[in-house]
Amino acid sequence: MNKYLLFTPGPVNVAENVRRAICKDDICHRESDFDDLLQRVETKLLKLFEIKNSVDYRAVVITGSGTAANESMLSSVVGHKRILILSNGEFGDRLYNISKVHNKNTTVLQYSWGERFDLETIKAYLTTHEIDIVAMVHHETSSGMLNPLEKIGTLCKEHKAMFIVDCVSSAGAEVIDMEKCHIAFCSSSSSKAICSYPGLSFVVGKTNEFERLRDLPVKTAYLNLYAFYEFIKNFSQTPNTPAVHLFYALEQALDNILNKGIAHHYSVLQDKAKILRDGMSNLGLTFLMEEKDMCSVLTTVYLPTHIDTTLFRQKLREKSIIIYEGKGRFKNKVFQVGNIGELSFADIQFFLDSLENVLQSFGNGKVKIIPFTLGGGRKSMIVYVDGDTKSRELATAS
């Protein structure tokens, strides 16, 4: 029994067989046991991405969180070229900041957090500027917005720009058609919709684009994407010591998705998101964006203004429920509820019941001042009104 139900965008509650997988035999990462394991993990990652011709694409696995895969891409594929970052949230901003560290020709088209990308301004920018590479986040986790992969990919193709994408919180939950969306490289991590432990990330890319990295300047030694490619291609290994047992866990998590079917996995996530969203709407909560803009893993909800974030999260934590609070510009304005990992439909109902309970404990925020007389003086009582009929005294004032 887990201590907490992680209603977060990851790391997640893992399946029992994933938990057991990290206890497998100790193996040496320079022996054929690991070579085979890495080969199987790569094959399964390419299956998850529904790559039809697996010779045209490769997946390299990096020991490190999602940021390691992002930094590996951004430091290794740009060279001296010009890169444009599209950002509408915290994680788009992070791509920009990482790129600036490695690439002096970095620019950003900055949209408000939670705002849709405006395709016309992007098109105009690509028409009037020499841009070689465009990078963006697929699912902008800070707001929950799913950015339009195919539309931006098509613009990139029209303007002969390479397209690279952070799919850290969308891979394993949303269809990512690398070919149709003209994606050269995309990154993701083990601990979100793929439902394994944190600690591994990966980059899926076109084989010919991986080959081209050989001629580019090396900007980081440890996260050199070409080195990862060279090692997997030549030895089925990683350049440095990998977190061996996390590979077992990742393989098991991938098996869990592939055995049940990718489409089935996606549709269960959609069902869970729908039940959560309907349930929260019924409690009178409203969302940061329309449902059609959301990813199937996460819902970003306005925090009622009379509720204190810290206390709200604490009350849920006391019921073993962990949610996310808003980051950066969304701090104290929203909370986020994820529906990935081992969360059953019963857990979701438990969450909704607990949420109702916690919201009720704060009242509904409508305040009524009722004057009354006590002894000799005139006093008034502040009453927070719960629904239409129930009233609860919270304080008195003279």
Ligand X SMILES: Cc1ncc(COP(=O)(O)O)c(C=O)c1O
Residue 110 engages ligand X in binding (rule: CB under 6 A): no
Residues 182, 151 contacting (CB under 8 angstroms): no
For residue 272, give both structure tokens. 């869970």
Residue 141 contacts ligand X per CB under 6 A: yes
Q: What is the DSSP letter of 185?
A: E
Tell me how far, at minimum, the Cβ of 90 lies from ligand X, in Å.
8
Question: What ranges make up the beta strands (E) of the chain?
Answer: 5-6, 57-63, 83-87, 106-110, 133-137, 139-140, 145-146, 162-166, 185-189, 200-206, 298-302, 321-322, 324-325, 334-338, 366-374, 377-386, 390-397
Q: Cβ-count burial of 105 within 10 angstroms (0-12 exposed, 13-18 middle, 19+ buried)?
A: middle
Shortest approach of ligand X to residue 140 CB, angstroms? 7
Q: Which is nearer to ligand X, 65 or 270 (CB)?
A: 65
Among 93, 166, 209, 251, binds ligand X (CB under 6 A): 166
**Applying CB under 6 A, what is the total number of residues that bind ligand X?**
11
Nearest to ligand X of 92, 279 (CB atom): 92
Residues 244, 34: Cα–Cα separation, whole Å:
8
**Smallest gap from residue 249 Cβ to ligand X (A):** 15
What's the Rg (C-alpha) of the chain? 24
| Residue 147 interacts with ligand X (CB under 6 A): yes or no | no
What's phi and psi for 73, nearest 5 deg?
-65, -50
Contact between 251 and ligand X per CB under 6 A: no
Instruction: Give whichever of 139 and 206 is closer to ligand X, judged by the CB atom.
Output: 139
Which range touches ligand X (CB under 6 A), out of 23-31, 54-62, 127-135, 164-172?
164-172
Q: Which stretch binds ligand X (CB under 6 A): 50-58, 61-69, 281-289, 292-300?
A: 61-69
* Closest separation in Å from C-beta 58 to ligand X: 21
Q: For Cα atoms 45, 46, 51, give the angle at the middle one, nearest 5 degrees.
A: 150
Interacting stretch for ligand X, rule CB under 6 A, among 53-61, 163-171, 296-304, 345-353? 163-171
- Residue 311: its H or E element: helix 309-317
C-alpha torsion 215→162→297→333, nearest 10:
100
CA dist 131 and 168 (Å) reads 24
Cα(24)–Cα(21) distance, integer angstroms? 6
Stretches 62-70, 150-158, 241-249, 297-305: which one binds ligand X (CB under 6 A)? 62-70
Q: How far is the CB of 166 from ligand X (least distance, A)?
A: 5
Q: How far is the CB of 168 from ligand X (least distance, A)?
A: 4
Record the tokens describing residue 325, joined without a space. Answer: 């609070």
The verdict on 87 binding ligand X (CB under 6 A) reads no
**71 near ligand X (CB under 6 A):** no
3-state SS, residue 251: helix
Check binding of 91 to ligand X (CB under 6 A).
yes
Among 66, 114, 199, 205, binds ligand X (CB under 6 A): 66
Q: Is residue 65 involved in binding ligand X (CB under 6 A)?
A: yes
The minimum distance between CB 170 and ligand X, in angstroms, equals 8
Is residue 189 involved in binding ligand X (CB under 6 A)? yes
Binding site for ligand X (CB under 6 A): 65-67, 70, 91, 137, 141, 166, 168-169, 189
